[in-house]
């Protein structure tokens, strides 16, 4: 396939301000309940990319909206050396349509599980997370072309080995 490249004339982006509120409490022997709310001020952190193609077709900008995500989880000490957790998280999106190629999902829901095991000074932690992203149709203004993103999901796995000395 043959493609074209264009130089960026200018671009900008910013890191948004974010606030997180976490709470946890014991609800039974060796069991914790955890909850959090995470608010991000995306409106003040837009991405702008302007190319040198001269047509304006490749000029893109984001249209991010402020967002708040929530999570609720349980943690349990299974033995003196092993603990586990399960968390459900959700974030409301901005709707099923977008005019920005940087906004490729609507609502999202995530289920995460984690386990930590300690053997003297060695600790091994692992986690698995599955996110289902909401469907969205993105229409690019200069071309009026629409791309549909449906059935999107993300599966992530993490492993950490630590040694305290």
The per-residue pLDDT for 137 is: 85
Please state, in angstroms and rounded to a whole number, the distance separating the CA atoms of residues 74 and 35.
9
pLDDT in tens, 63-84: 777 889 999 999 999 999 999 9
φ/ψ (deg, to 5) at 42 = -70, -30
The per-residue pLDDT for 3 is: 56
- Tokens 């993490």 locate to 158
Q: pTM for the full model?
A: 0.76
- For the chain, give the percent of residues with pLDDT over 90: 50
91 CB-contact burial (10 Å; exposed 0-12 / middle 13-18 / buried 19+): buried
């Amino acid at each position: 396939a043959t493609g074209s490249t264009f130089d960026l004339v200018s671009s900008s982006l910013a890191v948004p301000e974010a606030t997180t509120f976490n709470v946890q409490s014991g609800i039974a022997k060796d069991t914790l309940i955890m909850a959090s709310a995470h608010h991000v001020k995306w409106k003040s952190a837009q991405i702008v990319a302007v190319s040198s193609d001269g047509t304006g077709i490749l000029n893109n900008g984001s249209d991010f909206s402020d967002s708040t995500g929530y999570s609720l989880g349980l943690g349990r000490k299974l033995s003196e050396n092993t603990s586990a957790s399960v968390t459900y998280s959700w974030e409301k999106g901005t709707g099923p349509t977008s005019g920005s190629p940087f906004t490729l999902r609507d609502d999202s829901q995530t289920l995460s599980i984690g386990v930590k095991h300690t053997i003297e000074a060695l600790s091994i932690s692992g986690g698995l997370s599955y996110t289902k992203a909401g469907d969205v149709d993105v229409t690019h203004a200069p071309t009026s072309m629409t791309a549909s993103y449906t059935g999107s999901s993300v599966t992530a796995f993490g492993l950490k080995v630590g040694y305290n000395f």
